[in-house]
Chains A and B, each alone.
Chain A
Amino acid sequence: MTALSMSAAHQGNVNPRPVPWRRMAGIIWRQHRFALAGVAVLLGALALYLWLAGSAMHHAYAVAAACHPASSDDCQNQVIDFNTAYAPTAQTVGVLLMAVPMLIGAFVGASVLGRELETGTFRYAWTQGFGRRRWTLAKLVPLAVIVTVAAGLFSLLFSWYYQPLFTDGDSIPLDPKLFGVRGVAYAAWTLAAFAVGASAGLLIRRVVPAIAVTLAFCVALTFAAGLYLRPHYETPVLGRDLASAPVSAWVLNGWWTRGGTMVSQAAMNQVEYPLFQRAMTATVPKNVNSDDIKFYKGSANTRVQDYLYRHGYAKWTSYQPGSRFWPFQWIEGGWLLALSVLLIAATVWLVGRRAV
């Protein structure tokens, strides 16, 4: 009877039912628990530091901000004291944290396929009933989600930590040193580094060289994005004069024009210097001590600028306003997400094509 019912069941169903996806959870955990534990320890230790340092900083800022009236000298001095005490450390912390996505990507991402290929276990793993493409996909996607979510939560904490220094105007929203550590960018950089690591592991087939290549590639990509791409996510705003740019603007460039053509800095210096000398002669009183002459430079410069404006020169500034912070975050997050999806898709496709 058993034999009869069995053959009946198999008739419409020659292949065995595919192994369900959730069965991979245990394997992923067992293969990558040390890497994931490492990520948890690294981010946990840094989060603890941010929380302790952030609590102290928020407390100090609350004291400075509670001062009334805010425009009095005494209150402004409290804000200056606060910035002097906390801003340099906080900025250094922000810059150093940019290394974390690369490290996570290199150490977690590169070993996903690199280790199986190096040790030869892929011959066993890929020939199981689960299927090699599904195997790869099932490993890459959950790990990608885990590291991305962890990095996203961590950057929320960093944003909280740094908030007082944005509120009091010490840093601009688009500050190039901090852009990658805030908003959605941090999670996106982590995901991209993971995807780069995974494809490097598949292409190089050895863990340590794949880690090295991932680090090198991510460093280059971070520099390229900050120096060449980010200033151009949206067309910069043109302003007359530096003063026309809001305080929160990320100033990209400044130059002079006359009659619609650009004047080079060298030519501008040639024009400005004699004017400045004349202005100084006109501004500085005769009986002034030679050490105090420098106090008159500012007003002489103003006279030079007024003169230049009257004679057809125009000073231009290009900048990105601080209000573009979120659009820029989504643009950077967007292309990094697209790059990551593309790399993971290419990796899965290559795994399917490769002869075992």
Chain B
Amino acid sequence: MTAQTLPAAPPDDISLRPVPWRRMTGIIWRQHRFALIGEVVVLGAAALALWLVGLSLHHEYAAALACRPVGSQACAETYLTFSGSFAFLANGGILLPLPVLIGAFVGGPLLAREMETGTFRYAWTQGFGRRRWALAKLVALAVAVTVPAVLFSLELAWYYQPYFTPGNASLGLTEMTPFFPALFDLHGVVFAAWTLAAFAIGGLAGMLIRRVVPAIAATMAVYVGLAFAAGAFLRAHYLAPLVTSSSINLPNSAWILSQWWTKGGTTVSPGALNTAINNAFTALNPTVNGPGQKYAAYTGMLQYLTEHGYTYWTRYQPGSRYWPFQWIESGWLLALSAACIAVTVWLVRRRAA
């Protein structure tokens, strides 16, 4: 009876049923557990440190805001305490390498290790299929590196919140534009997008170079070039910048791209402007002199110069464009990552095992 039922089934189904996708999870975990654990440890330690530091930063910020009467000496002290706290973190520079480190160390070895050690000959000839094998690993790990990065960037957004609150500057507190170059990469969705892009570049570099360490190095080099190009050349042009001549009234949230003085239609050099400021200072204030006081009087000087035919121009991106810019940058990074992953999978399929 068994013999009779068996032959009836196979005719439609000569090839084996493909191995289900979920069977890859165990293999992915076993091959990449150290990289993933390393990522969680690094981000976890950074998150813990940032949380402890952030609690005290937020506490100081709350104290500064709650201080009454505004303008008293006691309040000035609370402002100083807030502005001086953890200043080495305030510009975000030391957190910037995190995405590339995660991406290069997880993405670089992904295919390169199999190629370098030769295990790809075994792995790719299994019933699962080499293209599905590569796709399953790339996609699952892409999600695995992106999700912690998203969570970490939520904490970063919380940490840096006090620095961006409108109205800080009127109290004498630090108020930065959300476009501040190093921070733009950290406190929105682009942190996760850069991490994903670094991972995808790593995967492709590994497939092209086929050796782990050179692939990691190449990923870092490409990423640094890309991040530099994005920050220095691309980001300012996602939307056409605005130009205004009422530079003094710009809110602090505006990202100032360039500023220049003109008089009678021609641009004034910084040096010539210095002469004009010196003259303005003497005119405004014949009795006091010295460089420190000159600086303090700067805004008064702006007004004086404006009244004497000088115009102060600013080219800027308004703070309200922060989220559009985040989505634009994340969008092209996501497209780039998808393209890198697609090319990698295509290369895997093409290559003779």
Q: Are A266 and B275 in contact (CB under 8 A)?
A: no
Judged by a CB distance under 8 angstroms, whether B278 is at the interface is yes
Chain B residue at smallest Cβ distance from A81: B271
Residues of B within 8 A of A291 (CB): 300, 303
Q: Are B271 and A269 in contact (CB under 8 A)?
A: no
What size tier do the contact residues of chain B reach?
Answer: 20 to 34
Residues of B within 8 A of A269 (CB): 73, 76-77
Q: Are B274 and A295 in contact (CB under 8 A)?
A: no
Q: Are A298 and B292 in contact (CB under 8 A)?
A: yes
Q: Are B288 and A208 in contact (CB under 8 A)?
A: no
Beta-carbon contacts of B274-306 to A below 8 Å, as 1s and 0s? Answer: 110010000011011010110011001001000
Which of A73, A270, A272, A298 has the most B CB atoms < 10 Å from its CB? A298
What's the nearest-Cβ distance from chain B to residue A120, in Å? Answer: 11
Q: Are B217 and A38 in contact (CB under 8 A)?
A: yes
Number of interface residues of A (CB under 8 A): 33
Q: Are B285 and A81 in contact (CB under 8 A)?
A: no
Judged by a CB distance under 8 angstroms, whether A294 is at the interface is yes
Known contacts A212-B105, A299-B293; A77/B213 CB under 8 A? no
Q: Is the interface of B mostly helix, strand, loop or mixed?
A: helix
Q: Are B271 and A270 in contact (CB under 8 A)?
A: no
Q: Are B217 and A77 in contact (CB under 8 A)?
A: no
Residues of A within 8 A of B271 (CB): 74, 76-78, 80-81
Q: Are B293 and A73 in contact (CB under 8 A)?
A: no
Chain B residue at smallest Cβ distance from A213: B38
Which of B213, B274, B287 has the most A CB atoms < 10 Å from its CB? B213
A287 to B105, CA, bound (A): 68
Known contacts A76-B274, A209-B34, A215-B101; A295/B213 CB under 8 A? no
Interface contact tally, CB-CB below 8 A: 80
A269 to B297, CA, bound (A): 23
What's the nearest-Cβ distance from chain B to residue A34, in Å? Answer: 7
Judged by a CB distance under 8 angstroms, whether B212 is at the interface is yes
Q: Are A273 and B73 in contact (CB under 8 A)?
A: yes
Residues of A within 8 A of B109 (CB): 208
Judged by a CB distance under 8 angstroms, whether B272 is at the interface is yes
**Among residues 237 to 263 in chain B, which have CB atoms less than 8 Å away from a CB atom of chain A?**
none
Judged by a CB distance under 8 angstroms, whether B214 is at the interface is yes
Chain A residue at smallest Cβ distance from B72: A273
Residues of B within 8 A of A294 (CB): 296-297, 300
A272 to B73, CA, bound (A): 9
Judged by a CB distance under 8 angstroms, whether B193 is at the interface is no
Beta-carbon contacts of B100-135 to A below 8 Å, as 1s and 0s? Answer: 010001001100000000000000000000000000
Residues of B within 8 A of A296 (CB): 288
Known contacts A77-B271, A80-B270, A81-B270; A295/B212 CB under 8 A? no
Q: Are A77 and B275 in contact (CB under 8 A)?
A: yes
Considering the complex of A and B, which 5 residue pairs feature the smallest CB-CB distances, nearest first?
A77-B271, A298-B293, A273-B73, A81-B271, A295-B285
Beyond the given A34-B214, A80-B271, could you list 20 further A-B residue pairs with CB under 8 A, ordered by the A residue number?
A73-B274, A74-B271, A76-B271, A77-B270, A78-B271, A81-B270, A207-B212, A208-B109, A211-B213, A273-B76, A291-B303, A292-B284, A294-B296, A294-B297, A295-B284, A295-B293, A296-B288, A297-B296, A298-B290, A298-B293
Interface residues of B (CB under 8 A from A): 34, 38, 73, 76-77, 101, 105, 108-109, 212-214, 216-217, 220, 269-272, 274-275, 278, 284-285, 287-288, 290, 292-293, 296-297, 300, 303
A-B CB contact pairs (8 Å), 20 listed: A74-B275, A77-B270, A77-B271, A77-B272, A81-B269, A111-B213, A208-B108, A208-B212, A211-B213, A212-B38, A269-B77, A270-B73, A272-B73, A273-B73, A291-B303, A292-B300, A294-B296, A294-B297, A295-B284, A295-B296
